[in-house]
A = this chain, B = another copy of it.
């Protein structure tokens, strides 16, 4: 964390404590992020039909122009828990509202919730209720406070994930800071990719929703570890306007959107970079498609192929697996126009094998944690990037040897 310079946007505080939901007492499991004034708050949620209770709750409470806090627990996903799960999530937000209420009062509806962990177990409401005053007391605005919050949302993550940018927009210094967790779409009985992004930029709920939705398409929707979509996936954005001034429009809004995308992309890449058991972060770049949707679809199909992943695990320049994965993505293209580069080295062109130095390509894969697969098609100008992990015996061990 020391190398990653970051700060909270104005008006925000964060904290993280151990409440007892996780069995390991050396960990943190309850995080809180608070804005000192009502903020525009919008979310992008899992498209899984089976939505966890906190996802259902947040979907009802966003978009909003008056959210004050997001409470996040790890260790229990509160998913597949029926009506009781919904009531539990509401009770937790009510406890937070009560604990935060000063002179002006905070309503439960001004608090959002995210959960990650075991599916099918009920929240330990008593433990969380006892932990909430502690995490309120823990709130701070410095880097250690943000790090505690980011650690409290981890499940099988090996590193906390915080990314931040500060830019000058319309004469004001604007900070965008996000925390995220995720190491598998669902890890060993754990769940989920979660992120909350805070900014002091003045942004209306409608503009915030559009900016977040568009950013997610090019960031969190372009990563995978195992292709398994969680019941709890949530990305929240809070914009409290503490930097001052009128809500952004025009060029200012465009600059804010670009900054938000950068932070989302940084956070998103951090997830497969920390993928369970992973020894490589694989970037799949697809160029020359008719549409961006086509490019994403091909990138995702290559990224999700266990045979492509295991080839990278083994530092095997097995281009046939990559080309054949593109071929079943469901996107029409002329196979005779395809070229493929692995770490910058051409291995396939115009439908036929190319003479290449297999050892050099293999060494370049083995020698770095990052692998770049660059596929060129001849259908148009659209491009996309997709990030994934390799697939290792350790991933299987983590997910097979874990017992519920």
How many residues belonging to A are interface residues under a CB distance threshold of 8 Å?
A: 71
Q: Which of B79, B338, B399 contacts A314 (CB under 8 A)?
A: B399
Q: How far is the CB of A10 from chain B (nearest CB, A)?
A: 38
Q: Which of B50, B231, B314, B326 contacts A403 (CB under 8 A)?
A: B314
Q: Is the CB of B400 within 8 A of A310?
A: yes
The reply to whether the CB of A296 lies closer than 8 angstroms to some CB of chain B is no
Q: How far is the CB of A304 from chain B (nearest CB, A)?
A: 8
Stretch at the interface among A101-109, A248-256, A348-356: A348-356
Q: Is the CB of A186 within 8 A of B324?
A: yes
Docked CA distance A327–B348 (Å) = 38
Q: How far is the CB of A60 from chain B (nearest CB, A)?
A: 17
Contacting residues, chain B, for A49 (C-beta < 8 A): 326-328, 332-333, 335
Q: Is the CB of A307 within 8 A of B228?
A: yes
Q: Is the CB of A82 within 8 A of B50?
A: no
Q: Which of B48, B186, B320 contacts A120 (CB under 8 A)?
A: B320
Contacting residues, chain B, for A338 (C-beta < 8 A): 50
Given contacts A82-B352, A323-B80, whether A226 and B306 have CB atoms under 8 Å apart is yes
Q: Which of B48, B318, B323, B324 contacts A229 (CB under 8 A)?
A: B324
Q: A119, A186, A307 — which one has the most chain B CB atoms within 10 A of its CB? A: A307
Q: How far is the CB of A300 from chain B (nearest CB, A)?
A: 12
Q: Is the CB of B400 within 8 A of A392?
A: yes
Contacting residues, chain B, for A319 (C-beta < 8 A): 120
Query: Would you mind naming 28 contact pairs between A and B with Cβ atoms under 8 Å apart?
Result: A49-B327, A50-B326, A50-B327, A77-B320, A80-B348, A80-B353, A82-B350, A118-B320, A119-B320, A119-B321, A121-B353, A185-B307, A191-B320, A227-B304, A228-B307, A228-B328, A229-B324, A306-B399, A310-B396, A314-B399, A316-B403, A317-B404, A358-B404, A362-B403, A390-B400, A392-B396, A393-B393, A393-B400
Q: List 18 additional A-B contacts (Cβ < 8 Å) besides A80-B323, A121-B353, A310-B400.
A: A49-B333, A80-B348, A80-B353, A227-B306, A228-B306, A228-B328, A230-B324, A231-B320, A307-B399, A314-B401, A314-B402, A314-B403, A390-B400, A392-B396, A392-B400, A393-B393, A393-B400, A396-B396
